[in-house]
Amino acid sequence: MKQKILICISILFLVAMLIQLFTFHEKRQSRTLSYPELLQALEQNKFQKASIHMGYDLADIALATGDCSIQLVDDVSAKELLKLIKRMLDSGVSVEFAPSRRFEWTEFAVNTVALVLLFIVVIYIFVLHQRTPV
């Protein structure tokens, strides 16, 4: 009975970890802005901080307001990014760069394999523990 409960807990743990792996987006309150909305908001000095998540040729920008809400701008081209950074700095926005947060299949595969191996080890330990020497 104890082993079945522990196996159920292990399965629930595995499911929770897989859900966490699939939900890697911002947890805070956020909404996506269009590029014209961003320019208008910069003119009104609505933002205090910007985190630029660089990709290969596109960037995603997370902008924080004074009330701790996050507004996102997706897929800004590298050509527009330089102009945008200058506008943000001119508006008094603190700008920082961060690694890309795009979905990476390799990271997903490595994490999934690690979780599955952990699950297999836990099940194997329970199976060995159930065997009694004769």
Residue 98 belongs to domain with CATH number:
3.30.720.210
Furthest CA-CA distance within the chain: 80
**What Å distances lie between residue 38 and 22, 41, 71, CA to CA?**
28, 5, 9
Identify whether the C-beta of residue 66 lies closer than 8 Å to the C-beta of residue 75. no
Number of domain units in the chain: 2
51 by DSSP, 3-state: which? Answer: strand
- Residue identified by tokens 């961003």 is 38
Same domain, 92 and 112: no
Give residue 95's pLDDT.
92
Same domain, 11 and 29: no
Low-confidence ranges of the chain (pLDDT < 70): 1, 3, 6, 21-30, 100-104, 131-134
Give residue 119's pLDDT.
79
- Domain with 122 in it: 1-23+103-134
Same domain, 91 and 30: yes
Identify whether the C-beta of residue 115 lies closer than 8 Å to the C-beta of residue 18. yes
CA atoms within 13 A of residue 81's CA, in its CB half-sphere? 22
Same domain, 47 and 82: yes
Q: pLDDT tens-digit profile of 50-83?
A: 988 887 778 888 888 877 778 888 788 878 888 8
Same domain, 38 and 84: yes
* Cα separation, 130 vs 134, whole angstroms: 13
